Structure 1
Amino acid sequence: MKIRLLNPGEQIPYDLLLSADPSIEVIGKYLDRNYTYVAEKEGRIAAVYILYPVEADIIEIKNIAVAEDCRNQGIGTALLVHAAGISRDSGYSKLIIGTADVSLSPLSLYQKNGFKISGVKKNFFVDNYPEPVFDDGERCVDMVMLEKNLL
């Protein structure tokens, strides 16, 4: 598997991004100022993540998604390790990520990779999405924020 920066003019893997964030409008809000990385496996894009600078020393993973047929193969962990390395090498001291309050699998993955819960954005999915958002049949309401110190 190879992880690389998406090239300028290369097609954005919206199918994968939409599997992690169901609103094209919300995705559009963070595509303007970001770094999009893709993981290629067997000649195709199998995963994607987006880094979004927040402050001079803080960068956020705004979206991370692995194709359904490539899950549970360590790709998510590889992306998190890659994101932390790229962020540290770029001078950031903190990497943050958010997930829905009902998204137990991503929450566990992030914590296993050194992220600590840092807060909750109340009613995030209610206030920022025109339609209800669900994960594994459960309605997403709050966003749980996690952070990882990179120094």
Structure 2
Amino acid sequence: MNDEYYLSIQAVTPEQLLMEQLSITLLLEADPSEDNVRAYLKNSRCYRAEIRQKTVGVCVLTKKSDDCFELMNIAVAPGMQAQGIGTRLLNFVISEVEASGAHRIELGTGTFGHQLGFYQKAGFRAERVERDFFLKNYDQPVFENGIQHKDMLRLAIEFQSG
């Protein structure tokens, strides 16, 4: 039987994520600043995706207002990527936020890379660019495919009012 049938996604506390080294490693895959990760974890909604009790993905949201959340981090274990786990985790989180009565999810990501298409397939749309974000907010340069991230693209998905 295919492992995708064993994928479970559940809400966990920030402390539960911090107690598991694999979860910390995954969070740092998506955001290389441990200081930033620890800062936004404090008051976050966290989710963990597991296959057969092994963590394969994590997701972190912060509440910006009663009707808006920000997706701070989503990551899938490198050996488990491109199997639909990230899509299922993101769709689960989007459904959870919509069911909570919120009307919007925002996120920031680099201006290039595979994650941009990943978010757009889920319904996120570009809103603005924050110039020099990665230069101002990270001690070390952030590279992807040999290209340095400098600017952040802000995306959002809005839910239809009932």
TM-score, structure 2 length as denominator? 0.88
Q: 1:72, CA displacement in angstroms?
A: 0.4
Of residues 12, 32, 37, the one that matches 1:6 is: 12
Does structure 1 conserve the Cα–Cα contact (< 8 Å) formed by 2:14 and 2:44? no
Give percent identity, aligned residues only.
35
> Structure 1's 132 and 106: CA in aligned 2 closer, same or farther, altered over 3 A?
same
The unaligned stretches of length 5 or more in structure 2 are: 1-6
**Which residue in the other structure is 2:3 paired with?**
none
d(CA) in 1 for partners of 2:158 and 2:92? 14
Residues 112 and 32 (structure 1 numbering): CA distance in 2 closer, same or farther, change over 3 Å? same
Residue 57 of structure 2 is aligned to residue 19 of structure 1: no
Distance change in 2, residues 1:8/1:105 (3 Å): closer
Instruction: Trace 1:106-125 onto structure 2 (pairs within 5 A).
Output: 106-125=115-134
Kindly provide the CA deviation profile for residues 59-109 of structure 1, in whole angstroms up to 9, marking residues without a partner as x: 01100000001100011111111111110111110011211113x200001
Identify, as 1 or 2, the structure richer in helix: 2
Offset at residue 43 of structure 1 (A): 2.2
In the alignment of these two chains, the number of paired residues is: 150
Question: 3-state DSSP class of the match of 1:10?
Answer: helix
Stretches of 4+ aligned residues off by more than 6 angstroms: none
TM-score (norm. length: structure 1): 0.94
Instruction: Please tell me whether the aligned partners of residues 16 and 66 of structure 1 are also in contact (alpha carbons under 8 angstroms).
Output: yes
